[in-house]
Amino acid sequence: MIPMPVASTNQLRVGVEKYPLLQLHFHAPSEHTLKGKAFPLEIHFVNAADNGKLAVVGVLVKEGATNAEFQKILDNAPLLEGTNTPPDMLVFPWRLLPADRTHFYNYAGSLTTPPCTEGVGWHVLSQPIEVSQTQITQFEALYNDNARHTQALMVVL
C-alpha cells in the first residue's frame, strides 16, 4: 500500500542514534509471527538516520477494540493504486503503538519489499495493538495479501 507521509518530528531513538520517522505502512496478514502465530495486520514504521541507516518498528495488530486512529486512515485510504492520501490528513503515529514499548524483538534484517535492502535494524514490539474485526475486514477489502511470506530462520555459526 502507499506509505503514509508523517510529520518529521517523530523519531525512533536507539541508544544515542536518532532515526526520524519516514513513513508508515501496513501489511495483511502480519509478516512477523510470534511463537509461529500470524496476526491479521502488521504496521511498519520506517525510520531513517541522517547517514541513511534504516530502522523499522513493527507493530503486530490483533482483533479487539476499535482504534480511532486506524479508522481515520481507513476512511481516507485511496481506493486506486497510485493515488495519494489527502494531504490534509494528519496521522499521529504514537496512537498506533502499544502501551509497552520497552519489550521488542531486535534483529538485523532487510526491507521486506523490493529492493529488500539489507542492514535494516528491526524492532518488533512484543505487545500487539488492537483494532476491531470490522476494521480488519475493511482493510482487507482494500489491500489483501500484501505480506512477504515468512523467511526461514537462518543460523550463522
Q: Would you tell me which residues interact with Zn ion (CB under 5 A)? A: 44, 112
Residues 43/59, Cβ–Cβ less than 8 Å: yes
Q: SS3 of 25, please?
A: strand
- Of 65 and 122, the one with the shorter C-beta distance to Zn ion is 122
- Of 67 and 112, the one with the shorter C-beta distance to Zn ion is 112
For residue 23 the three cell numbers come to 513513513
- Of 44 and 123, the one with the shorter C-beta distance to Zn ion is 44
Minimum distance of Zn ion from residue 16's CB (angstroms): 26
C-alpha span between 43 and 58 (Å, rounded): 6
Compute the half-sphere exposure of residue 86: CA atoms within 13 Å on the CB side of its CA. Answer: 9
Q: How far is CA 22 from CA 45, 58, 84, 100, 149, in A?
A: 8, 14, 16, 22, 24
**What separation, in Å, do the N-terminal and C-terminal C-alpha atoms of the chain show?**
37
- Of 88 and 145, the one with the shorter C-beta distance to Zn ion is 145
